[in-house]
Chain A
Amino acid sequence: MTTNIDRFTFSTIAHAVRYALLAMAAAPLVATAADEDADVASLTQPTSSIEVGAENVSSKSAKFGEYNGLNKSGAAFIGNIDLRGGDAYQSFQGGMGTTRWQVRGTDLGTTSREIGGTVSSQGRWDLGVSYDQLRHNITDSYQTPFQGSLGGNSLTLPASFGVIDATDDGPVGSGTQGLTAGQIAAFHAVDVYTERKNTSFNAGYRLDRQWNFEFAFNHLDQSGAKLISVSMSPDALGNGAGEKTATLMNPTNYRTDTFELAANWIGERAHLRASYYASLFKDGYHSLSWSNPYIDSGGATPTGTITGNFPLNVFATTPDNSVHQLNLSGGYEFTSATRLVGGLSYSRNTQNISFIDDPLLTSALPSGSLNGLVITKHADLKLTNQTSKDLLLSAGVKYNERDNQTPSNVFDSFASIAGDPWGPVANAPVSNKKLQVELDGSYRIDKKQTLRLSYAYDDVKRWCNNALANNFQSSDVLTNVPNYYTTTACVQSPQSRENKLAANYRLKAGQGVNFTAGYSYAKRRADFNTSYYNPMQTSAEGLQNFGFVPYFDASRRDQIVKSGLNWQANDRFNLGLTGRFIDTKYDSTLGVQKGHGLALNLDAAYNYAAGGVVSAYLSGQRRQRDLLSSADKSPLVAPGNLWSNHLDEDSNTLGITAKHRGLMGGRLDLTGDLSYSLSKTTYSTQLQDPTQCTDINCGDLPVIKNEVLRLKFTGVYHVDKASKVALSGLYQKLKSDDYYYSAYQLGYTDVTVLPTNQLAPNHSVTAAGISYIYSFR
């Protein structure tokens, strides 16, 4: 018995110890395997995350919060989510599922929020929905005496506001400089912004290996307002002379629905895509009306009185329009070395909104609406060949046409511009077409060197395809400016042709050094219609001075030199330098004469440790433009009337980014980002006859200077595998010197400009936040 008991005791304990030891010995092995599996899972399984927190913005600034939604001071909610799943993620474990879904939301606590979801069965179908909001904060220093909400289309002044008696070039203290205390008191601040809300849906279906179909829909809802200036003439008493202005809130009450339906076919050697695209734009308003408080007594006692409310002025807001476009594109592979791709597009753009009833127009309108129609055509074809792996050749042709088939009619204008006679004007529906031919060859000289040569030819034609617009001229033209022009045409440059040659060289010099250099030369020859007359202008206003050509029409010669050097010293250090110089000369007696541009960029990155990298860049840009013009509206420009304007712009940008992961035993990741940008624009106007020079017509304008400093910092502390705490900070300072704003200050010297008291968007704002991030699989 004892023996039995002993044997039992021994046997049982021996088994127990044996199993326990076995299990304990196996545990580390299993744990190691589990660690490996955890590593594998972290690579092959999706990680979802939810981030919640709060941030504080130190002060109010529309410019700081222009697009990021942080325009108000105080607390804001931080919310981001990224949830993923589906059996498609089981592939590494041997799963054959194809379903994948994701819900993603960013910046949920601001007016820049975005949230969307997708679900798909890969290889078969996919669906997606999203909502994207963006508030564009335009200004928080705008003031107006007009009553009416942001986004509304009626802006009125109370009858008690009183008139503003403003005469052009009136004396100091008159007009808008002489607003009464009551008028000044009527000014109130409005934060002006526009808001876009995009709601999207997309779907795809794959029928088989060759066919698939796509559908995308987007609804864009816009609200709020932008600022716009308006002229108020004739004045409130009906007197025609003078230009009185005010800056108003122009509502953006828009809806745009966009659809695209596409069918794709892919064969062994060919592929095709046929699609239908539509964009339907609707404006919730047709017009904006506002009270006109101006009278122009010319310094004498007003010749009339305003009884009751102010007369309303009105302009047409942007009209509803639609585009329907058919597209076909595809490619064919003759051989593995020779391929042809191309496309065709045809679209109809229509607009037929009823014209607004403008009380200033007393004559009957020639039509109730525009019946506008623009047909756009596009074709392109490109053949590429790489028979030898050292030589790549391509030849392409493109054609684009905008054929404006809108009818032309004659409308009565009213005397809105001082000194110009009243007269009829004709709308000029302009059309253009562009043919481009491109030849390109890239030859690999050896394993290190490649030379690419290309040639391009552009042929642009412009016309007014309506005889009325093309031949219309005011009967006043020849009367007012004898012998100026004898016939007219509504397009100044009916045709231009440009030839362009380019050469690019690439060298892989070894030791991680890559070098590129390129040069291009382009020459544009434009034909001119010496009888050009803009039919949208009355009297001599439709005429340009002899020899003057708009820069985009003008004959010109364009040269570009560019070069780049990149040195990958080792796996840790990279250095790059690129530069580009542009020289453009215009062949115009008057107009833009020449322009230059220079850009230099220096980039460096250094991986100083396994988890640490610091990178920096410096960019410098300079741009100049010279303009020659004439103050004399005459067939023969007197040299003494010539004046020039010189534009000089400098921009320098510096950026430094540092990232370090794995501090504090792998728990802390830090990222810092510093950027600094300084841009300066100057204008200088000079007269050919310096004896005529005054502060009004010549001299250097103040520098338009904008200096932006921004420091971003993020620290993420990994509490455990699932939890992180993030600290973030953003400091931004903008110092803006811009003479633009002086024009709208109360007391400004043009007595016909109603002030808004807008200020340059200077700010110094800090946003600091803390958030908790939970990650899980």
Chain B
Amino acid sequence: MESFTRVVQAAALACGLALATTAFAVEPQSGAKAPVQSSGDAVCTRCHDESESKPILAIYQTKHGVRGDSRTPGCQSCHGASENHLRDKALPVDVVFGDRKSETRAQDDACLKCHKGGKRTRWDGGQHQANDVACTSCHVVHAPTDKVTYKKTQAEVCFTCHQEQRADVQKVSAHPIDAGKMVCSDCHNTHGSAGPKLLKMNTVMETCFTCHAEKRGPFLWEHQPVTEDCTNCHTPHGSNITPLLKSRAPFLCDECHDGPHDSPNAYGPGAAVGRQGSGGGYGDRSAAGRACMNCHSMIHGSNSPSGAFLHR
């Protein structure tokens, strides 16, 4: 009878537990929260838990949340000891990130004390730092995905401030930024650089050659403006004139040539546009279509011994 009693009691307990375990079955992470409460972050996460409107705890998905890495910061490493806040929750923490919060310098110092060197070597005095842009103006530290580090979403972060470039990339001729195949950081080092316009290489040319190595040469026959700066002719963010040209030939060429061959010639619509079947000088291969580049097509340089005029 005693055994039977124990069996019935055990069965009752099992039924009760079975009911209870349905809750456990939803997520197998029960009790997982406890360990972190014993870490240094506990002083913060006791209050700033999963109920926060902003995903504070998502930082544990990021590199800043990996406790096994001895360099990993705690909450107070970045936000400061914040003793006033611990005494009175109405008072802010020492360093509040984001616009209109702590001073930009204080925000940046919290990041740069660890993120020294590398791509950030020239942050101090760079265009972004000098214009009061903070690290958190672009980066989101607590979210599992930092939009500015992903190809498909980076440009929308940059376009928040760079609206002219946002309009440019929608023009008929553009790099594949809109398709998510190219990002601003393919050309720019936004953390500061030795090049112009925060380009990631030392010069415009070196930056363009990282993808367009076929235009690097040196060529037997060089085109001087090409050796100095691609942006003499191209506008890299977008153009109404394909391919990414500042202007349409022959007028683009006329900006630098007035003497050789047909370059002194004035061209009106009859020459530059031409008409089907019309005679009398209508339509001129030096002015219509590719214009000068109908013949002088090796505009980036030629390595043919017979290519002195950049036409071979």
Query: 30 interchain pairs (CB within 8 A)?
Result: A8-B1, A23-B15, A23-B17, A38-B29, A44-B65, A93-B32, A98-B69, A122-B63, A169-B281, A220-B211, A245-B294, A315-B307, A316-B307, A329-B194, A370-B219, A372-B217, A374-B218, A380-B122, A386-B105, A394-B124, A400-B203, A512-B100, A536-B221, A603-B163, A617-B166, A677-B171, A695-B282, A696-B267, A697-B267, A742-B288
How far, in Å, is B97 (CB) from chain A's closest CB? 16
Given contacts A24-B19, A631-B264, A749-B279, contact A704 B5 (CB under 8 A): no
Contact A372-B219, Cβ < 8 Å, known A12-B5, A541-B259: yes
With contacts A536-B308, A695-B270 taken as known, whether A708 is within 8 angstroms of B225 at the C-beta atoms is: no
B95 contacts A by Cβ under 8 Å: no
Q: Is B130 in the interface zone, CB < 8 Å from A?
A: yes
A413's contact among B122, B131, B164, B308, by CB below 8 Å, is which? B308
Assuming the A-B contacts A316-B302, A321-B217, A704-B248, are A680 and B240 also in contact, with contact meaning beta carbons closer than 8 angstroms in the complex?
Answer: yes
- B266 to A271, Cβ gap below 8 A? no
**Which A residues are CB-close (under 8 A) to B232?**
552
A697 in contact with B213 (CB, 8 Å): no
With A281-B213, A685-B268 known as contacts, the answer to whether A370 contacts B218 (CB < 8 A) is: yes
Segment 4-63 of A: residues with Cβ below 8 Å from B:
4, 8, 11-12, 15-24, 26-28, 30-31, 33-41, 43-47
Indicate if A616 sits at the interface (CB-CB under 8 A).
Answer: no
Asked whether A271 lies within 8 Å of B116 as measured between CB atoms, the reply is yes
Stretch at the interface among A348-356, A521-529, A765-773: A348-356
A590 within 8 A of B: yes
- For the complex formed, measure the closest distance between the CB of A460 and the CB atoms of chain B, giving whole angstroms: 9
A283 to chain B: which residues have CB within 8 Å? 214
Task: Produce 1/0 per residue, A402-431, CB < 8 A to B.
Answer: 101010000101101100100001011110
Complex: A694 Cα to B235 Cα, angstroms:
33
Are A339 and B247 in contact, with the CB atoms below 8 A? no
Contact among A256, A406, A543 for B213, CB-based, below 8 A: A256
Q: Is A200 close to B, CB under 8 A?
A: no
Which chain A residue shows the least CB distance to B279? A172
A349 CA / B219 CA spacing, docked (Å):
11
Q: Which residues of B contact A98 (CB under 8 A)?
A: 66, 68-69
Report yes or no: B251 in contact with A331, Cβ–Cβ below 8 A.
no
Whether B132 pairs with A748 at a CB distance below 8 angstroms is no
B27 touches A353 (CB 8 A): no
A324 at the interface (CB under 8 A from B): no
- Interchain CA distance A653-B9 in the complex, whole Å: 75
Given A44-B57, A279-B213, A708-B172, does the pair A19, B218 have CB atoms closer than 8 Å? no
Per the CB 8 Å criterion, the residue count for chain A at the interface is: 224
Q: What 7 A-B pairs come out closest when comparing CB atoms? A: A23-B16, A94-B35, A743-B289, A16-B12, A749-B283, A271-B117, A695-B270
Let me know if B264 and A37 touch, CB within 8 A: no
Q: Could you mark each residue 112-131 of chain B with 1 if its beta carbon is under 8 Å from any beta carbon of chain A, else 0?
A: 00001110011011000011
- Given that A34-B26, A45-B61 are known contacts, is A696 also in contact with B268, CB under 8 Å in the complex? yes
Contact of A749 among B100, B278, B298 (CB under 8 A): B278
Task: List A contacts of B131 (CB < 8 A).
Answer: 504
User: Bound state CA distance, A695 and B271, in angstroms?
Assistant: 8
Checking A11, A356, A392 against B5 with a beta-carbon cut-off of 8 angstroms, the contacting residue is: A11
Give the residue among A19, A169, A420 with the most B Cβ atoms within 10 A: A19
Instruction: Give the distance to chain B from A24, nearest Cβ to Cβ, in Å.
Output: 5
Closest residue of chain B to A700 (Cβ to Cβ) is B269
Q: In whole Å, how far is B46's beta carbon from the nearest beta carbon of chain A?
A: 13
* Interface residue from B70, B227, B288 paired with A404 (Cβ < 8 Å): B227
User: How does the 8 Å CB contact mask read for B247-267 relative to A, with 1 for contact and 0 for none?
Assistant: 110010011111111001111
B50 proximity list for chain A (CB < 8 A): 36, 39-40, 43
Say yes or no for A398: interface residue by CB 8 A criterion.
yes
Q: Nearest residue in B to A541 (C-beta to C-beta)?
A: B260
> What residues of A have a CB within 8 angstroms of the CB of B67 in the complex?
91, 94-96
A651 at the interface (CB under 8 A from B): yes
**Most chain A beta carbons < 10 A, residue from B66, B67, B179, B214:** B66
For residue B18, give the distance in angstroms from its CB to the closest CB of chain A: 8
| Distance, CA A681 to CA B17, complexed state (A) | 76
Q: How far is the CB of A278 from chain B (nearest CB, A)?
A: 11
Chain A residues within an 8 Å CB radius of B255: 550-551, 591-592, 625, 627
What's the Cα separation between A699 and B267 when bound, in Å?
A: 8
Cross-chain contact of B265 among A112, A411, A627, A631 (Cβ < 8 A): A631
Give me 5 other A-B pairs in contact (C-beta within 8 A), A24-B19, A316-B303, A450-B132 excluded: A33-B30, A123-B71, A355-B220, A649-B240, A747-B277
CB contact under 8 A between A428 and B222, given known A112-B181, A331-B117: yes
Q: B305: which of A16, A355, A592 is its contact (CB, 8 Å)?
A: A355
Establish whether residues A698 and B266, one from each chain, have CB atoms under 8 Å apart when the complex forms.
yes
Q: Quick check: B122 and A630 within 8 Å, CB to CB? A: no
Residues of A within 8 A of B79 (CB): none
**A698→B283 CA distance, assembly (Å):** 13
The one of A28, A30, A88, A736 in contact with B66, judged by C-beta atoms closer than 8 angstroms, is A88
Chain B, residues 171-203, CB within 8 Å of chain A (1/0): the string is: 110001011110000000000001000000011
Which chain B residues lie closer than 8 Å to A376 at the CB level?
Answer: 202, 206
Q: Are B266 and A430 in contact (CB under 8 A)?
A: no
* Cα–Cα, bound, A406→B63 (Å): 49
Interface residue tally of chain B, by bracket? 35 or more
- In the complex, what residues of A have CB within 8 A of residue B13's CB? 19, 23
B interface: dominant SS: loop
**Chain A proximity of B253: nearest CB distance (Å):** 10
Known A-B contacts A93-B36, A281-B216; the reply to A15 vs B309 at CB < 8 A is no
Cβ A696 vs Cβ B305 within 8 A? no
A752 to B284, CA, bound (A): 9
Alpha-carbon gap, A702 to B269, bound state (A): 7
Chain B residue with Cβ nearest A329:
B121
B147 on the A face (CB < 8 A): no
Taking the complex as formed, is A639 at the interface, i.e. its CB lies under 8 A from any CB of chain B?
no
Q: Does A89 count as interface, using CB distance less than 8 angstroms?
A: yes
B139 CB-CB contact with A under 8 Å: no
A316 to B217, CA, bound (A): 12
Contact residues of A between 359 and 390, Cβ < 8 Å to B: 360-361, 365, 370, 372-374, 376, 378, 380, 382, 384, 386, 389
In the complex, A341 has a CB within 8 A of chain B = yes
Complex contacts, B70 vs chain A, CB 8 Å: 123
Given contacts A169-B281, A172-B278, contact A38 B218 (CB under 8 A): no
User: What's the Cα separation between A35 and B24 when bound, in Å?
Assistant: 9
Stretch in A150-158, A226-234, A296-304, A662-670 with 4+ CB within 8 Å of B: A226-234
- Which residue from A30, A414, A747 sits with its C-beta under 8 Å from B306? A414
Query: How far, in angstroms, from A345 to B209 measured CA to CA in the complex?
Result: 16
Q: How far does the alpha carbon of A591 sit from the alpha carbon of B260 in the complex, in Å?
A: 14
Residue A266 at the B interface, CB < 8 A? yes
Which of B9, B206, B240, B277 contacts A704, CB < 8 Å? B240
Question: Bound state CA distance, A442 and B105, in angstroms?
Answer: 13
A619 with B27: in contact, given A11-B5, A749-B283 (CB under 8 Å)?
no
CB neighbours (8 Å) of A722 from chain B are: none
CA distance A742 to B284 in the complex (A): 12
Q: Among residues 29 to 80 in chain B, which have CB atoms less than 8 Å away from a CB atom of chain A? A: 29-36, 38-39, 49-51, 55-58, 60-61, 63, 65-72
B125 surroundings in chain A (CB, below 8 A) = 341, 382, 384, 394, 396, 440
B167 on the interface (CB 8 Å rule)?
Answer: yes
Given the complex of chains A and B, what is the CA–CA distance between A361 and B282 in angstroms?
34
The one of B12, B257, B261, B274 in contact with A417, judged by C-beta atoms closer than 8 angstroms, is B261
* Contact A134 to B303, CB < 8 A, known contacts A33-B30, A750-B288: no
A341 lies within 8 A of B121 (CB): yes
0 or 1 for each of B136-177: is its CB under 8 Å from A? (1 = yes): 000000001000000110000000000110110011100010
Contacts of B234 in A (CB 8 A): none
B228 within 8 A of A: yes
State whether the Cβ of A147 lies closer than 8 Å to any Cβ in chain B: no
Interchain CA distance A353-B27 in the complex, whole Å: 65
Distance in angstroms between the alpha carbons of A256 and B210 in the assembled complex: 9
